[in-house]
Structure 1
């Protein structure tokens, strides 16, 4: 299968590839100690965690950041089920393959949908979760991105969408990446997100399948009845100025999950790891300290 060259930060650690039941994925690994697995969102990859991973690793944790097949991955997975439950099963397969236990998940954006599905399907290896401004309830996709998901569902349009988004001047508009951060994402990081789908028809096919089959709030609403039975410690860390999934959704998550705590982070929109990586790192590290396995 065709693979696209890596553009990820060295902060993420060593790069590895693993053959799972339904496809091969790439992941990054650094640090030692109890494992923390970082779950990115749609049209992003592990590189979005480049400024959080070093802080958490320095606090005494092994940090693992996979490139999940959500549109910015490098290795096509044509046999994978690219719905949120399917990607959750792929992530569970990775945890099994690496024999990780006592895992902390840190999820952002639509990675939070994957984490919600994992908690309701294969929770045994997961001990605690951080939901950092995530899609949930009715907000999958967020309203501002309805146009994108509708466009990608039209046959042949995915390539046009990826070509449009590559234009630097368009990346800060209200219907692209603009609402996701208060500050522009660096050009090299944007390239790491967008070049795989521009350069590979197979990656675009994966992207189209995920949107067509998986981006639907049916999946986020289906897991809600299970929330009351999830007693693992959960940190709901929300951007106070999130314009895509407003803070009311974070409050709702914290209310519905029995062992959840809500923390608000200032001066950030949805991508906390881009706008406020140090503040996010601090609340994650404190949460890990408070809920360490004795």
Structure 2
């Protein structure tokens, strides 16, 4: 799966965005005042106690072999759904063919603990930074209910729901998401 943390305008206050685990890192940076963040966006991010998702937790005891590669391929194929082509699936799965990547991911799965994201909630509730959530409504693990809860509990938060999109909505509606992020970050 794709994960990202992006920061724009590094010479002053920055616009910060994150997806998946990258979203958890972005939340940490905002909540702990590690950066001067002017605008904050999350796309199908880890929130609250959504981490580790069941498809990650199953590898907590190790086991970074071919089982991880097969599980990643299956997950990518599912989340890309209507836009999945063999080429696109291969683009997402290719890094996982490296044993080092699989071992690194298994170590991450082994250390997964939702207390880290839950500990950020009070600081995020105090944050007045404008926030945008963009969410694929069909995500089975980072469900839209997490985004709805976040939008209702965190000040200055707007939620944009992407219909017929799963965990990587950037593949389902790239123009819509790109426009929403650009409008939000330049407002």
- TM-score for both structures, normalised by structure 1: 0.55
Cα distance change of structure 1 residues 193 and 252 upon mapping to structure 2, 3 Å threshold: same
Indicate the residue corresponding to 2:37 in structure 1: 126
Q: Report how many aligned residue pairs link the two structures.
A: 186
Q: Are residue 265 (structure 1) and residue 172 (structure 2) matched?
A: no
Q: Superposed, which structure 2 residues align to 1:231-250 within 5 Å?
A: 231-250=128-147
Residues 45 and 269 of structure 1: is their aligned pair in 2 closer, same or farther, counting only changes over 3 Å?
A: closer
| Offset of residue 277 of structure 1 | 0.8
> Which residue pairs with 2:18 in the alignment?
107
1:159 to 49, 65, 73: 65
CA distance in 2, matches of 1:243, 1:204: 23
Cα distance in 2, alignment partners of residues 187 and 45 from structure 1: 20
Q: Which of the pair has the greater relative contact order for Cα pairs under 8 Å at 6+ separation? A: 2
Q: SS state of the match for residue 182, structure 1?
A: helix
1:202 counterpart SS class:
helix
1:181 aligns with 2:80: yes
Alpha carbons 1:227, 1:256 under 8 Å: kept: no
User: How big is each residue's C-alpha offset from its partner over 1:131-188, in whole Å with a ceiling of 9 and x where there is no partner?
Assistant: 122221121133xxx144322x334x2112234247xxx63xxxx2354233243433
Q: What TM-score, normalized to structure 2?
A: 0.83
Q: Which runs of 5+ in 2 are unaligned?
A: none
Structure number with greater Rg is: 1
Q: CA RMSD in A?
A: 2.6
Q: When you count helix as a share of all residues, which structure comes out higher? A: 2
Match of 2:58 among 146, 150, 162: 150
What is the alpha-carbon distance in structure 1 between the residues aligned to residue 29 and residue 106 of structure 2?
A: 22
Q: CA deviation at 1:269?
A: 1.9
CA distance in 2, matches of 1:192, 1:125: 34
Q: 2:2: which partner in 1? A: 44
Say whether the 8 Å CA contact 2:134–2:159 is kept in structure 1.
Answer: yes
Change (3 A) 1:137 1:184: same
Deviation at 1:109, TM superposition (A): 2.2
Task: Check if 1:192 corresponds to 2:91.
Answer: yes
